[in-house]
Amino acid sequence: MIVIKSQEDIRTMREGGAILAEVLHEVARHAVPDADTLSLDRMAQDLLVARGGTPAFKGYQGYPASLCVSINNEVVHGIPSREKKLRDGDVVGLDLGVLYKGFYTDMAVTVGVGKVSRTARRLIEVTRQALERGLRKVRAGATLGDIGNAVQSFVEKKGFGVVRSLVGHGVGTEVHEDPPVPNYGEAGTGAVLKAGMTLAIEPMVTVGDYAVSTLDDQWTVITDDGSLAAHFEHTIAVTERGYEILTRS
Contacting residue, 95, 98, 144, 163, with ligand MF3 by CB under 6 A: 95
Binder among 2, 42, 51, 63 for ligand MF3 (CB under 6 A): 63
Q: Among 9-17, 32-40, 59-67, 114-122, which window interacts with ligand MF3 (CB under 6 A)? A: 59-67
> Closer to ligand MF3 at the Cβ: 59 or 188?
59
Residue 111, contacted partner among Co ion, ligand MF3, none, CB below 5-8 A by kind? none
Closer to ligand MF3 by CB, 9 or 233: give it: 233
User: CB-wise, 186 or 229, nearer to ligand MF3?
Assistant: 229
- The footprint of ligand MF3 on this chain (CB under 6 A) covers a number of residues equal to 13
**Residue closer to ligand MF3 (CB basis): 119 or 169:** 169
60 binds, among Co ion, ligand MF3, none (CB under 5 to 8 A by kind): ligand MF3
Question: Site for Co ion (CB under 5 A): which residue of 15, 90, 106, 146?
Answer: 106
Nearer to ligand MF3, 47 or 200 (CB): 200
Going by C-beta distance under 8 Å and a sequence separation of 6 or more, which residues neighbour residue 72?
Answer: 90, 91, 228, 229
* 146 lies in the binding site for Co ion (CB under 5 A): no
Nearest to 231 by CA among 77, 113, 97, 117: 77
Pairing of strands 74-76, 103-112: unpaired
Which of ligand MF3, Co ion, none does residue 14 bind to, with CB < 5 to 8 Å depending on kind? none
Length of the chain, in residues:
249
Rg from Cα positions in the chain: 17
Q: Does 60 bind ligand MF3 (CB under 6 A)?
A: yes
d(CA 178, CA 51): 28
Binding mask 170-199 for ligand MF3 (x = CB under 6 A): ------------------------------
Which residues are at the interface with Co ion (CB under 5 A)?
A: 106, 200
